[in-house]
Amino acid sequence: MNSEEHLEIINDNGEVIGIAPRSEVHGNPSLLHRVVHVLVFNRHGNLLLQKRSEKKDVAPGRWDTSVGGHVGIGEDLLFSSRREMEEELGVTGHEPEYLYSYIHSNAYETELVTTYRCICEGDFLFDKEEIDEIRFWSFDDIQQAIGKQILSDNFEQEFMTYLGFLQSNAL
């Protein structure tokens, strides 16, 4: 029997204040929870995106962040990022580098996103139940797809946050 995933609910300081089932957290944007994203680049600077399965409850059929997932109960953020890389892409042995954290909120949910990055060329063994396709995108191709219902709103915010991060670190 498949038991429902439970998530830590956190306050604005990132402190755990409760635990709730995923079905209660998704659909209630007042319940802040933690997720990790890993931006996976190849050596040419292209960004790996995953096309979410049509069966997903959030952004079905949309292109999304290379790796993204909930932080498990009691998990450390770096551990969660490594676990999600292995679960979603079959990637092990690559150490993600911490970049930044931000809040993503929409009518469906509110997440404290912690983003990492790494360089990995492949061999990807992605979860075909969760992901329909993966491919590397150039920044130009991503920018041309923004606002056209091709990318998830989560990823569009992630990409703009990443560009801001690059700009602020180039100064």
41 pLDDT higher than 80: yes
For 90-116, how does the pLDDT look when each residue is reduced to its tens digit (9 = 90+)?
Answer: 999 899 999 999 999 988 899 999 999
Mean pLDDT of 52-65: 91
What per-residue confidence (pLDDT) applies to 170? 80
| Residues pairing with 97 in the sheet | 117
What per-residue confidence (pLDDT) applies to 107? 87
Closest by CA to 85, choosing from 44, 55, 115, is 115
Instruction: For residue 8, count other CB atoms closer than 10 A to its CB.
Output: 21
What per-residue confidence (pLDDT) applies to 31? 95
Token match 């061999």: residue? 123
Q: Enumerate residues 6+ apart whose C-beta is below 8 A from 46.
A: 136, 137, 138
What per-residue confidence (pLDDT) applies to 171? 67
Q: Are 36 and 125 in contact (CB under 8 A)?
A: no
- Cα 91 to the center of its chain, rounded Å: 15
Q: Are 48 and 41 in contact (CB under 8 A)?
A: yes
Closest by CA to 80, choosing from 112, 36, 117, is 36
The domain locations on the chain are 6-170
pLDDT band at residue 2 under the 50/70/90 scheme: low
Q: Enumerate residues 6+ apart whose C-beta is below 8 A from 106.
A: 29, 153
51 pLDDT higher than 90: yes
Q: Are 135 and 57 in contact (CB under 8 A)?
A: no
pLDDT band at residue 122 under the 50/70/90 scheme: confident
What per-residue confidence (pLDDT) applies to 1? 44
Mean pLDDT of 134-151: 97
- For the domain covering 6-170, report its CATH number: 3.90.79.10
What per-residue confidence (pLDDT) applies to 12? 87
What per-residue confidence (pLDDT) applies to 3? 80
What per-residue confidence (pLDDT) applies to 129? 87
Measured between its terminal Cα atoms, the distance across the chain in Å is 53
Q: Are 141 and 35 in contact (CB under 8 A)?
A: no
- Whole-angstrom CA distances from 50 to 46, 101, 128, 135 are 13, 21, 11, 7
Predicted model pTM: 0.93
